[in-house]
A and B are shown apart, each in its own frame.
Chain A
């Protein structure tokens, strides 16, 4: 019996020794739950310690346009969100709600009460049950004082928070983004040039590029978001030069977007002269940014129309337009009584790449044009000022085009896409 007891005690001792001493070396100094709690605290303080808040670069899905939301987190748990975009009819809008950083799939930033701006992207309406398909809970992947990178918890969409500098107000940021949008987002076809390789980009105005690939029928669908210095693609893409590009900066001339990671890769537009001669979209005269050669007769025309028709046919806008049955014309539209009158122009490409001639056909007006022309003297004054030879300058988007007289650079006018 004593031998049996000894044997039992021996084996049991061996078990105790093995069970309590074989601790596996941990890769981490602290247990996962404690590390998670520390991460939550650090992220919360990082969010709050940005006095001007953050720009949330929001993509609802991997194929949806990017939207900039301005967000400011308070230590009280409140969050203020602001935006000015087509989803809020381009009006600056603010919405308050609450937020939390919770432990879920790692640290998660959750906006857990309804926010009129943020939850626009995830409200399951239009179509019912789906909506825009966005997230409002975000798994935080990396964080620093300047950048927080997250994934939507349900969709996995990449979403970044970029810290807003303390010397920039939200009004400054919105103005910068709007200005940059006007420079880079337009209806014109764009080209992605990488070394000797060129790919066609469509979809600039919808903020979702369709990039045609050589040897492939299917274009890459790549949404982008406008940043303060250019654009950022939703995800990096590989170029023909075998580089990865995602962030593009607008050139000082504002005519191309250059990849920050590869200066030999850039996005550019078509040549301006063929664009304007083939264009059928009305371009309105910008009388605040044109020389007096054009603004003086324009204002005279506006005043004369007002007095001649006692406010019933005030000038609504002056523009250069194109109609297939009439060709190019100087056009004006009136309000509150709507009338449109056309006065024919000829736009001819010049030998020089960026140069165009404008001429006119005397008495080349339509029926309304003839009626107004015989009653309002200053129509002739403005119309006859337009012919000349001009150098054209435009931004990448071609939302604005400046015509500069090649013989007198102080004589110029600006057109904005209407």
Chain B
């Protein structure tokens, strides 16, 4: 190396070092708000969430509302602590533990969301008059609305407002990792209506081969609605939908369900029928004594 190159090199080193002398980083300037306070009224619940969600699944179960984490477009209120405790236990029992049993514990560790955010009120859209039940953002975060109206004695209500949402959003996460066959969307091509689905009645949607009104929004929503509804709709309600669908609609529903079942089996090793039976079995165990009073 020539002398002037050595000089320039040393100079460059000095240049890099000269501006960092005053930085002197110490501890973080931000207060650590995640430490558990044994005197806190939520201490036992926070600890339970840590042991049952954060440690095993690296999942932050956020029951304290963070409006930066919600949509400021909507007028929302937080979830109550009581309902949050119930929903946390129900979610574990009816969703996480089901997948752990059906596949293995690693499955949700790998594909499960990293954040579940509870919101107390429904999210009313002033433009469409519809209610948002839940959102999923990039497979990372699931937001559940209307938690303050959770009624554990009403399985249909729980399924409609919470567990269908969870399975719906989780199915999105799964197909974002492994895409479903394109032929699925060909079955109802032309019947999807992103802006007009809410004007369909349940019966009209069924006749078009959709198991819910929202299924008619677009192909991806149709796909995940099919899975969520099949897993959580009672036999009676499922058969009602098939009756309403008529021959043509029923045929479309069966064709689409078959694609869903094959995809779940082949891509994820999950038998939809067995999972449906397992969820149904667990739902029958939910009663007033289900919840741990010490949380």
Contacts and interface: CB of A to CB of B under 8 A. Distances in A.
Question: Are A and B part of the same complex?
Answer: yes
Interface of A: 1-2, 5, 8-9, 12, 16, 19-20, 31, 33-34, 37, 40-41, 75-78, 96-98, 100, 102, 104, 110-114, 119, 122-125, 128-131, 133, 136-137, 153-154
A76 B41 CA distance: 7
A124 B75 contact: yes
B103 to A, nearest CB: 34
Q: Which of B41, B42, B63, B66 has the most CB of A within 10 A?
A: B41
A75 B41 CA distance: 11
A130 B40 contact: no
A335 to B, nearest CB: 39
Q: What is the predominant secondary structure among interface residues of chain B facing chain A?
A: loop
A113 B80 contact: yes
Nearest to B67: A137
B8 interface: yes
Given A37-B29, A119-B120, A124-B76, 18 more contacts: A9-B11, A12-B15, A16-B18, A77-B37, A77-B40, A97-B80, A98-B41, A98-B42, A114-B77, A114-B83, A119-B78, A124-B74, A124-B121, A124-B122, A124-B124, A129-B75, A131-B75, A153-B67
B143 interface: no
B33 interface: yes
B79 interface: yes
A122 B75 contact: yes
A156 B2 CA distance: 67
B126 interface: yes
Contacts of B76: 124
A114 B124 contact: no
Contacts of B292: none
Contacts of B67: 137, 153-154
Contacts of A130: 75, 126
B13 interface: no
Interface of B: 4, 7-8, 11, 15, 18-19, 29-31, 33, 37, 39-42, 63-68, 72, 74-81, 83-84, 120-122, 124-126, 148
A1 B120 CA distance: 73
18 contacts: A9-B7, A37-B31, A97-B80, A98-B64, A100-B33, A113-B63, A113-B79, A113-B80, A114-B77, A114-B120, A114-B148, A123-B121, A124-B74, A124-B75, A124-B76, A125-B121, A129-B74, A133-B75
Given A100-B33, A113-B64, A1 B80 contact: no
A107 to B, nearest CB: 12
Q: What 4 pairs across the A-B complex have the smallest Cβ distances?
A: A129-B124, A114-B80, A124-B75, A112-B64
Contacts of B29: 31, 33-34, 37
A129 B73 CA distance: 10
A103 to B, nearest CB: 8
A247 B18 CA distance: 59
B20 to A, nearest CB: 10
A72 to B, nearest CB: 13
B4 A1 contact: yes
Contacts of B75: 122, 124, 129-131, 133
A20 B19 contact: yes
Given A98-B41, A154-B72, A128 B124 contact: yes
B80 A5 contact: no
Given A119-B120, A123-B121, A97 B81 contact: yes
Contact of A98 (B7, B11, B81): B81
Contacts of B121: 123-125
Contacts of A97: 80-81
A109 to B, nearest CB: 13
A5 B37 contact: no
A113 B30 contact: no
B294 to A, nearest CB: 18
B47 to A, nearest CB: 14
A112 B66 contact: yes
Contacts of B78: 111-114, 119, 136
Contacts of A123: 77, 120-121
B144 to A, nearest CB: 14
B126 A114 contact: no
A47 B100 CA distance: 45
Nearest to A34: B29
A5 B2 CA distance: 12
Contacts of A136: 77-78
A19 B19 contact: yes
Contact of B30 (A33, A122, A128, A153): A33
Given A19-B19, A76-B41, A2 B77 contact: no
Nearest to A136: B77
Nearest to B126: A129
Contacts of B126: 129-130
A37 B30 contact: yes
Nearest to B29: A33
A12 B64 CA distance: 53
A40 B33 CA distance: 12
